[in-house]
Amino acid sequence: MYELRCESLEKSFGSFALQALDLAIQPGEFFSLLGPSGCGKTTVLRLLGGFEQPGRGRIMLGERDITRLPPHKRNVHTVFQRYALFPHLNVFENVAFSLRLKKLPRAEIARRVEETMSLTEIGQLAQRRINQLSGGQAQRVALARALVDQPAVLLLDEPFSALDPSLRVRVREELRAICKKVGATFILVTHDQEEALQLSDRLAVMRDGRCLQVGTPKMIYEDPADAFVASFIGPVNEIRGELAETQPGEWSVNSPAGTFRVKKNGTPLPREVSMLLRPEKMRLLRQKSSAQENLIEGEILDLTYLGSRTEYTIRSRDSIFKVSEAEMERQKKRLLNPRDRVFLSWKSEDAILLPQTGPAR
């Protein structure tokens, strides 16, 4: 198994440009490229698959430079977005396609195809025609077809977008299990942050042809590199203010909404900062409590009951806050209603501090 490296990979067409991308993806890693449409994630995938040639830079698989290799000479296979299964072949022959090209002995082809089909749980579909498959089955066939040849790297282009939402979560779990079982490197392209968080060992967040941050899901969620990453990976509330050192080592943010204590890590910050708060890191209180350090008073505008959690929309002066509470006693749930006055509170270390960028939200 080999490490996959992109070295200052560049590609431009029309007004789009992928800007010097450097990535090192570990063997056997489940890696995601996450970003909105037009961010360049699919371009990276097509460069890795050999369907596009980069303007500059190299792609290394282990010690081998594969930048200029055509798709059929790379040990890299793709699961296409709409699966691209061959309609003139049945399921078995679709899966066997790459092995037949290698002219392997019949018995070995049969053995490996059956092995892979049982891995993706489509053994009973072997003789089916492609137009007789459901979306979920087609996806499993596409996966088996790409895996049967034991590629070093498997590329997945939004593989869940054609599936029912109810099916997605289960299939994701299975996909991750398969990745760990076969030991190949999986690279997933997606615009769905939940998908990227659930599946990836590490992920890269991209925007406008640029890679903004690479890290584990936890790192990116808790310590986003900028406001875009923070809000793309999950909802945030923003409070803008001025950073001030009240005592040596003690910091606070002064804003129109009040003064809030914050924990500052080593990274240097300008005076004007954005304080970002995740909805689930905020608590709702009926009464002011002296034990809480950061408090904002507001009024509940709306609430949405979602079973495992309840989401509140709260207005405080001119700002709107989103709060999501999971652990709540029944009593408290019953007590909170629209138009109630409440207090928002959070722990100082849960606030994310970033330099201000763009207009306030």
Partner 1 sequence: MKVEVKRLVLRLRDWPPSAWIFFAWLVCLSLLPFLIIFAMSFAVRSPGGDIAWTFTLANYERAFHLVYLRVLTKTVFLSAGATLTCLLVGFPVAYYLARASHAQRQIGLILLFIPFWTNFILRIYGIVSIFGNHGLLNQLLMRWGLVDTPVEILYTRAGVYLGLVYNYLPFLVVPLFSALEKFDLSLREAAMDLGANRWQTFTRVLLPNVKEGVAVGSLFVFIPMMGEYVIPDLLGGAKEVFLGKVMVEQFFTMHDWPFGSALASILSLGLVLAVWLRMSLERTRSQTTSS
Sole binder of partner 1 in the list 87, 135, 235, 338 (CB under 8 A):
87
In whole angstroms, the minimum distance from the beta carbon of 143 to partner 1 comes to 13
| Closest to partner 1 by CB, 98 or 252 | 98
In whole angstroms, the minimum distance from the beta carbon of 164 to partner 1 comes to 22
In whole angstroms, the minimum distance from the beta carbon of 169 to partner 1 comes to 26
Angle at 223 between CA 40 and CA 350, to 5 degrees: 140
| Closest to partner 1 by CB, 147 or 296 | 147
Q: What is d(CA 40, CA 42) in angstroms, rounded to the nearest whole number?
A: 6
In the shown chain, the binding pattern of residues 147 to 186 toward partner 1, with x for contact by CB under 8 A and - for none, equals: --x-------------------------------------
In whole angstroms, the minimum distance from the beta carbon of 85 to partner 1 comes to 8
Residues with Cβ within 8 Å of residue 51, at least 6 apart in sequence: 71
At what angle are helices 135-147 and 91-101 packed, to 10 degrees?
20
Please give the residues from 65 up to 84 whose contact with partner 1 meets the rule CB under 8 A. Answer: 70-72, 76-78, 80, 82, 84
| Closest to partner 1 by CB, 19 or 75 | 75
Burial class (CB in 10 A: 0-12, 13-18, 19+), 7: middle
Residues with Cβ within 8 Å of residue 129, at least 6 apart in sequence: 87, 90, 91
In whole angstroms, the minimum distance from the beta carbon of 77 to partner 1 comes to 6
| Closest to partner 1 by CB, 49 or 224 | 49
In whole angstroms, the minimum distance from the beta carbon of 69 to partner 1 comes to 11
DSSP 267-285: S---SEEEEEE-GGG-EEE
The neighbouring-strand residues paired with 7 are 58
Dihedral sign of CA atoms 158, 159, 162, 163 in order = negative
| Closest to partner 1 by CB, 82 or 361 | 82
The yes or no reply on residue 221 touching partner 1 (CB under 8 A) is: no
At what angle are helices 106-119 and 135-147 packed, to 10 degrees?
130
In the shown chain, the binding pattern of residues 100 to 139 toward partner 1, with x for contact by CB under 8 A and - for none, equals: -xx------------------------x-x--x-------
Alpha carbon 223 to its chain centroid, in Å, reads: 15
Sheet holding 272-277, edge to edge: 258-262, 250-255, 237-247, 272-277, 352-355
Count of chain residues binding partner 1 (CB under 8 A): 28
In the shown chain, the binding pattern of residues 16 to 55 toward partner 1, with x for contact by CB under 8 A and - for none, equals: ---------------------------------xxx----
| Closest to partner 1 by CB, 71 or 256 | 71
Alpha carbon 156 to its chain centroid, in Å, reads: 13
Sole binder of partner 1 in the list 17, 28, 97, 313 (CB under 8 A):
97
Please give the residues from 181 up to 200 whose contact with partner 1 meets the rule CB under 8 A. Answer: none
Residues with Cβ within 8 Å of residue 216, at least 6 apart in sequence: 200, 201, 202, 203
Sole binder of partner 1 in the list 145, 172, 278, 281 (CB under 8 A):
145
Q: What is d(CA 2, CA 199) in angstroms, rounded to the nearest whole number?
A: 21
The neighbouring-strand residues paired with 346 are 294
In whole angstroms, the minimum distance from the beta carbon of 311 to partner 1 comes to 39
Closest CA to 300 of 343, 345, 341, 239: 341
Please give the residues from 256 up to 285 whose contact with partner 1 meets the rule CB under 8 A. Answer: none
Residues that bind partner 1 in the complex, under the rule CB under 8 A: 49-51, 70-72, 76-78, 80, 82, 84-90, 97-98, 101-102, 127, 129, 132, 145-146, 149
